Amino acid sequence: MHRDIDLWVFIKDELDTTHERRMFCIYFVANKITMRFFNLTAIFICIVFITSFTSNNQKTAPNLDAQIGRLFFYDTRLSINKTKSCASCHDPKLAFTDGELTPKGALGDVVRRNTPTLINLADNETFNWADEKITSLQLQSNIPLFGKHPIEMGNDSTDNSTLQFAFSDKMYLPLLQQKRIERLNWSMVKDFIAEYVGQLKFHNAKYDLWKNGKVKLSKDELAGKKLFFGDKLNCRKCHSGNDFDEPEFTRMNQYQNIGLYNIGKDSIYANGDNGLENETKDRDDIGKFKIPTLRNIAITAPYFHDGSAASLDEVISHYARGGRLIEKGKFAGDGKLHPNKNQFIEGFTITEKEKKQLISFLNTLTDTSYLKNAFYRNPFQAN
What's the rounded Cα separation, in Å, for the pair 142 and 164?
19
Beta strands in 272-379 (DSSP E): 289-290, 325-326, 333-334
- Domain map (residue ranges) of the chain: 2-60, 64-201, 206-363
How many other C-beta atoms are found inside a 10 Å radius of the C-beta of residue 122? Answer: 17
What's the rounded Cα separation, in Å, for the pair 21 and 13?
10
Q: How many angstroms separate the first and last alpha carbons of the chain?
A: 45
Decide if domain 206-363 falls under CATH 1.10.760.10: yes
> What's the pLDDT at 58?
37
Region 165-189 average pLDDT:
98
pLDDT digits (tens, 9 = 90+) for 67-102: 999 999 999 999 999 999 999 999 999 999 999 999
pTM score: 0.84
pLDDT digits (tens, 9 = 90+) for 219-253: 999 999 999 999 999 999 999 999 999 999 988 99
CATH topology of domain 64-201: Cytochrome Bc1 Complex; Chain D, domain 2 (1.10.760)
Question: 3-state DSSP: the chain helix, strand, coil percent, rounded to 5?
Answer: 45, 5, 50
Residue 255 parent element (H or E) = strand 255-256
Q: Please indicate whether the domains covering 64-201 and 206-363 agree at the CATH topology level.
A: yes
